[in-house]
Amino acid sequence: MAAPVLRWCCPARRWILANIDRGPRHGRGAPTGSRSSGKRGQSSVAQQPLVTAQKPRKGEHQWAAVVGLEIHAQISSNSKLFSGSQVHFAAPPNSLVSFFDASLPGTLPVLNRRCVEAAVMTGLALNCHINKKSLFDRKHYFYADLPAGYQITQQRLPIAVKGSLAYSVCVGKKRSQVINKTVRIKQIQLEQDSGKSLHDDLRSQTLIDLNRAGVGLLEVVLEPDMSCGEEAATAVRELQLILQALGTSQANMAEGQLRVDANISVHRPGEPLGVRTEVKNLNSARFLAKAIDYEIQRQIEELENGGEILNETRSFDYKLGCTVPMRDKEGKQDYRFIPEPNLPPLLLYDSASLPAGADPQQVINIDQLREQLPELPSVTREKLVQQYGMLPEHSLTLLNEVGLLEFFQNVMKETRAEPKKVTSWVLNTFLGFLKQQNLAVSESPVTPSALAELLNLLDQKAISSAAAKKVFEELWRSGGKTPAQIVSEKRLELMQDQEALEQLCQATMEEHPQVVMDLKKGNPRAINKLIGLVRKATLSRADPTMIKEMLEKQLSS
């Protein structure tokens, strides 16, 4: 039932329509269209390093970049912010539209309790001050996918203010140094999402899908405390994890549930901030980092060449990898805000201010929501470090990859192997395989149980590490077999027969007198060659340490 032939509106060129001459929405806080790139999976796993190291360019050291973010997160709720229509991604066009969503005259907004709770929970998780009284406003602009001609938002008095988001960036050559950073959160406001415009260039028409119109959004405004694309992308990733842990948003960027606009400026340290540009509609963490870094460079070069930065809205062309100005022929838009007259002030309570005898269905208790907050990612990571002696950067990776933590924990449940061993296998071997094939954890052919069993075999010294790698490869290739089956089929079990192994050692030394000579002459590395030869003879089924011990014993005897 999906609209045929139509393409989702994508950044850059898609804005320019064959026939319908309309400027894009611009300015802060307008619901940003999903502009779904259609490339799924890029945010689920296998995120490339967030920012590619920029080559040092001239004058860069003299400039400081300032980056702030406006993030729109779609609230995970059964129904929309002000109407009873369902919220569901990729439903047939216009199948989830109530009379209110279509702005039929006479319809009125009715606030969805779940959305308010989601906003409060998010505010609490981000250390915000929750306003006990917040207000709704109308923000006006004409656009085909905004049926009422205005968006209901919280311009004057938002539901949460003054919070902070802590995140960690990995730096250094091996990205093994973890630096903790904090970005201040200016506010969180509740607002409506817009519908989607589907531009059909061939037929010179625009079709409107209102399924998304009126879905609840959390607009999270991050203060300009970041200084590069990686920081911004990492902060967004942390926010994404928090939202997902809270269940307040699925925060899937590919599905448009998390959309980011970045405000970027550069200045010389010690001087006032520069003129900022806004880059809109960034729909993946990777593009976010790229776009910001590109824009920083562009601004520096512009200024170095004696140019000036315009306060403008730009979009990121992900094909060209650069930002381009969005057409902005009317200049700054005046949204003509007005208080939403159909919604009384939103009042929240805490246990102290809760009116006696209040109907629990009619009031929201902040304290109660605070008690119900689930474990946040920072706590989860801390626990991993404490419980398993894991390195902080490993705990970061475990959480950053969707489903990886759960996979790890499931392996842990079924194995006797050391946590460090498990971590190493999950983060190096398992994740490496996934990335190589661009798969999500959920798509892995190897189950946690299988890996656990394999690690048990390793732990029991039933197989060698090298054999374990082979078993893993085999598990990956031919799902369905257990590690034990593979081990026995391929005869990979470790040689437990001491005598046989000793004979093999003896035979190898005899076959390679030159190596033995080297060793005796004092080249300590020569023993490694012997070990390798013995292992080869055992078809890698012997434990190298054991071989080494035997060789040394035989040499000294």
Partner 1 sequence: MLGRTLREVSAALKQGQITPTELCLKCLSLIKKTKFLNAYITVSEEVALKQAEESEKRYKKGHSLGDLDGIPVAVKDNFSTSGIETTCASNMLKGYVPPYNATVVQKLLDQGALLMGKTNLDEFAMGSGSTDGIFGPVKNPWSYSKQYREKRKQKPHGENEETNWLITGGSSGGSAAAVSAFTCFAALGSDTGGSTRNPAAHCGVVGLKPSYGLVSRHGLIPLVNSMDVPGILTRCVDDAATVLGVLAGHDCKDSTTVQDPVKSFILPSLTDVSKLCIGIPKEYLVPELSSEVQSLWSKAAKLFESEGAKVIEVSLPHTSYSIVCYHVLCTSEVASNMARFDGLEYGHRCDINVSTEAMYAATRREGFNDVVRGRILSGNFFLLKENYENYFIKAQKVRRLIANDFVNVFNSGVDVLLTPTTLSEAVPYMEFIKEDNRTRSAQGDIFTQAVNMAGLPAVSVPMALSNQGLPIGLQFIGRAFCDQQLLTVAKWFEKQVQFPVIQLQEIMGDCSSVFENDLASVSLKQ
Interacting residue ranges for partner 1, rule: CB under 8 A: 19-22, 99, 102-111, 138, 140, 142, 144, 147-150, 206, 208, 334, 336-338, 341-344, 362
**Backbone dihedral region of 175: left (phi > 0), alpha (psi from -120 to 50 degrees) or beta?**
left
Amino acid at 121: M
Other C-beta atoms closer than 10 Å to the C-beta of 149 total 11
Nearest approach, Cβ of 149 to partner 1 (angstroms)? 3
Amino acid at 183: V
* Separation of alpha carbons 482 and 485, rounded Å: 5
Nearest approach, Cβ of 205 to partner 1 (angstroms)? 9
Nearest approach, Cβ of 338 to partner 1 (angstroms)? 5
Nearest to 550 by CA among 491, 493, 507, 518: 507
The contacts of residue 225 (CB under 8 Å, 6+ apart) are: 68, 181, 182, 183, 184
Nearest approach, Cβ of 24 to partner 1 (angstroms)? 12
* Separation of alpha carbons 294 and 321, rounded Å: 8
Both tokens of residue 287? 């593009």
* Separation of alpha carbons 139 and 142, rounded Å: 10
What's the N-to-C CA distance of the chain in angstroms? 81
3-state SS, one letter per residue, for 32-46: CCCCCCCCCCCCCCC
Q: How far is CA 184 from CA 115, 164, 165, 236, 473, in A?
A: 23, 4, 6, 13, 45
Nearest approach, Cβ of 344 to partner 1 (angstroms)? 6
Q: How far is CA 76 from CA 87, 161, 275, 334, 409, in A?
A: 8, 21, 36, 31, 26
Q: Are 426 and 411 in contact (CB under 8 A)?
A: yes
Nearer to partner 1, 22 or 184 (CB): 22
Nearest approach, Cβ of 284 to partner 1 (angstroms)? 29
Nearest approach, Cβ of 73 to partner 1 (angstroms)? 24
Q: Are 72 and 48 in contact (CB under 8 A)?
A: no
Nearest approach, Cβ of 252 to partner 1 (angstroms)? 29
Q: Are 155 and 139 in contact (CB under 8 A)?
A: yes
Question: 140 in helix, strand or coil?
Answer: strand
Residue spans of beta strands (DSSP E) within 270-404:
277-282, 313-317, 322-325, 338-339, 346-347
Residue that the structure tokens 């924990």 belong to: 409
* Separation of alpha carbons 40 and 32, rounded Å: 19
Both tokens of residue 167? 């995140």
* Separation of alpha carbons 73 and 446, rounded Å: 33
Q: Are 167 and 183 in contact (CB under 8 A)?
A: yes
Nearest approach, Cβ of 439 to partner 1 (angstroms)? 43
Question: 29 in helix, strand or coil?
Answer: coil
Nearest approach, Cβ of 126 to partner 1 (angstroms)? 28
Question: 243 in helix, strand or coil?
Answer: helix
Nearest approach, Cβ of 191 to partner 1 (angstroms)? 16
Q: What are phi and psi of 378, to 5 degrees?
A: -65, -40
Both tokens of residue 513? 């007198």
Q: What are phi and psi of 539, to 5 degrees?
A: 60, 40
